[in-house]
Amino acid sequence: MLKKYVKTFLSFILAAVFLVSACGSIEGPEIWIYASIIGVALIVYAVYSFVSDKQEEKR
Amino acid sequence: MRELLKSKARRIELVLALVLFLAEGFLYLTFRSTELNMFRLYEHAGPWVNSLREWGSALSVPQWVRYSLPDGLWLLSYLLLVDAIWNKFDKVSCVWYLIMPAVAFGSELAQVWWGLTGTADLMDFVCYAVAVGVTLIVIYSKNYIRKRIAAYA
């Protein structure tokens, strides 16, 4: 079984790659602003999940 | 990472997702407008992109294959990869499962209501819905097989 924090890390990388690829499929630069907002939210959630998974594993 | 490739179902999901992602990229490169952001990257890729586009322009392909199918393939590819990583839909994994469908449906709705660049199209919604439906079938099938195996064990 993959550890939970490894899954979280892989999911974050995957979401980031697909978010960038989604921006590539749209015209105009303004999409990068929306993508940045989603990206920051993803980073915050990934860090929170990563830390709580690690703490859970320690226990 | 080796753990990810141990299960046969996961291996199938990973290969299928990669094929779908490449197919999506192929459709975008061949048939879509060069005004898209991705073509800023590909303008340095050399003449093969132009050859591909010339070949594509000679083909008669339905509109929905050009404009909607790639989006559905993109979403299905993401969902299969997430399912290969998490292997089940639960409280912890649901955010990762739901983030890209939310982005996909949200971007279409933003095109309708807030004038985001792009053309909102019913077929885009249909392709996204099919991608989500196929993923649900995959998740339920895996759960069903898992339960049957557990019952026999």
Per-residue pLDDT of chain B (153 residues; tens, 9 = 90+): 566 656 788 889 999 999 999 999 999 888 887 778 887 777 666 677 778 888 888 888 899 998 899 999 999 999 999 999 998 888 888 999 999 999 999 988 888 887 777 777 889 999 999 999 999 999 998 888 888 888 887
Residues 6+ apart with CB under 8 A from B2: none
Nearest to A38 among B74, B92, B103 (CB): B103
Which residue does chain B place closest to A39, by CA atoms? B99
Neighbour count for residue B75 (Cβ, 10 Å): 27
Asked if residues A7 and B85 have their Cβ atoms less than 8 Å apart, the reply is: yes
Q: Note whether A22 contacts B104, CB cutoff 8 Å.
A: yes
The complex scores an ipTM of 0.89
CB contact under 8 A, B37 and A23: yes
Task: State residue A31's pLDDT score.
Answer: 81
Through-space distance between the first and last CA atoms of chain B, rounded to whole angstroms: 28
Rounded to whole angstroms, the Cα distance separating A1 from B98 reads 22
Neighbours of B35 (CB within 10 A): 11
Which of A1, A2, A48 should one mutate to test binding to chain B, selecting the residue with the greatest count of B CBs within 10 A? A2
pLDDT of residue B5: 59
The region of weakest confidence among A13-17, A39-43, B28-32 is B28-32
Contact A26 B118 (CB under 8 A): yes
B7-23 per-residue burial string, b: 16 or more CB within 10 A, e: under 16: eeebeebbebbeebbee
A15–B100 CB contact, under 8 Å: yes
- Which residues share a beta bridge with B36? A27
